[in-house]
Amino acid sequence: MIQSKSLIVTKFQQTSINSKICFGSAGLLFPGDPGVPNTLMNSDYGYWEPRIGLAYQPKALPHTVFHAGVGIFTGPLQYSEYNHAADVAPFSPTFNFSGWCYPCSADAPLAGGIISFDNPWSASGAGSPYATSPFPGTFHWATTSLKPAKTVAIPKGQVGQEFSRNFKLPTTYAWNVSIEHQFTPTTGIRMAYVGSETEHSSVAIDMNPPYASKLPVNSNMGDIFEDQSWATASYSSLQMSLDQHLWHGLQVQSSFTWSHTLDIASSSNISFGNPALGNPISAAWNRGNANQDMPWNWISNFIYQAPSFKEKGKLMAETVGGWQLSSIITAQKGNPFSIGQWNTDPGVGMWNNRADFVSGIASNMGKGSRSDWANQSKGYFNEAAFTLPVSCNDKTPGWCGFGNTSRNAYWGPGVFGIDSSIMKNWTLMEGKTFQLRWDAFNATNHPNFGNPSSTVNQAPGVFGVISGMNGHPRIFQGALRLTF
pLDDT in tens, 395-423: 444 455 778 899 999 999 999 999 999 99
Could you tell me if residue 224 is inside a domain?
no
Cα separation, 436 vs 77, whole angstroms: 47
Average pLDDT over residues 424-453: 93
**Residue predicted with more confidence, 38 or 449:** 449
Average pLDDT over residues 137-143: 53
Cα separation, 311 vs 331, whole angstroms: 40
**DSSP H or E stretch at residue 433:** strand 432-441
Cα separation, 192 vs 174, whole angstroms: 13
Average pLDDT over residues 163-185: 92
- 445, pLDDT greater than 80: yes
Could you tell me if residue 260 is inside a domain?
yes
Residues 6+ apart with CB under 8 A from 368: 378, 380
Q: Is 149 helix (H, G, I), strand (E, B) or coil?
A: coil
**Residue predicted with more confidence, 374 or 395:** 374
Could you tell me if residue 429 is inside a domain?
yes
Rg (CA), the chain: 30
Could you tell me if residue 435 is inside a domain?
yes
Among 144-153, 248-257, 293-302, the range scoring the smallest mean pLDDT is 144-153
Cα separation, 248 vs 109, whole angstroms: 76
Cα separation, 454 vs 462, whole angstroms: 9
Cα separation, 49 vs 443, whole angstroms: 45
Q: Is 344 helix (H, G, I), strand (E, B) or coil?
A: coil
Task: List Cα–Cα distances, 213 to 64, 208, 281, 400, in angstroms.
Answer: 59, 10, 8, 14
Q: What was the pLDDT predicted at 126?
A: 42
Q: pLDDT tens digits, residue range 40-66?
A: 667 778 888 999 999 999 999 999 999
Average pLDDT over residues 77-102: 53
- 289, pLDDT greater than 70: yes
Cα separation, 142 vs 344, whole angstroms: 41
Q: What was the pLDDT predicted at 19?
A: 26
- Helix locations, 22-80, DSSP H: none
The answer, yes or no, to whether the previous bond of 129 is cis (omega within 30 of 0) is yes
Q: How many CA atoms lie within 13 A of 61 on its CB side?
A: 11
CB 353 within 8 A of CB 209: no
- Helix locations, 347-435, DSSP H: 370-373
How deeply is 337 buried, as exposed, middle or buried, from its count of CB atoms within 10 A (0-12, 13-18, 19+)?
A: buried
- 222, pLDDT greater than 80: no
Cα separation, 216 vs 209, whole angstroms: 8
**Residue predicted with more confidence, 365 or 272:** 365
Got the DSSP string for 245-293? EEETTEEEEEEEEEEEEEES-S---TTSS----SSTT-HHHH-EE-TT-
Residues 6+ apart with CB under 8 A from 254: 241, 242, 298, 299, 300, 301
162 pLDDT band (50/70/90 cuts)? confident
pTM for this structure? 0.76
Domain that holds residue 407: 174-215+231-483
**Residue predicted with more confidence, 220 or 473:** 473
Position 49, amino acid = E
Average pLDDT over residues 86-90: 49
- 82, pLDDT greater than 70: no
Phi-psi region of 373 (alpha: psi -120 to 50; beta: other; left: phi over 0): alpha
Q: What was the pLDDT predicted at 404?
A: 87
Cα separation, 409 vs 412, whole angstroms: 10
Q: What was the pLDDT predicted at 46?
A: 82
Task: List Cα–Cα distances, 16 to 138, 155, 207, 222, 396, in angstroms.
Answer: 23, 6, 19, 10, 25
Q: What was the pLDDT predicted at 457?
A: 78
260 pLDDT band (50/70/90 cuts)? very high
Cα separation, 226 vs 208, whole angstroms: 10
Could you tell me if residue 196 is inside a domain?
yes
Could you tell me if residue 179 is inside a domain?
yes
Could you tell me if residue 471 is inside a domain?
yes
Count of the separate structural domains present in the chain: 1
Q: What was the pLDDT predicted at 214?
A: 53
Could you tell me if residue 396 is inside a domain?
yes
**Residue predicted with more confidence, 89 or 116:** 116
Q: What was the pLDDT predicted at 239?
A: 98
- 149, pLDDT greater than 90: no
State how beta strands 386-387 and 415-429 pair: unpaired
Cα separation, 75 vs 81, whole angstroms: 14
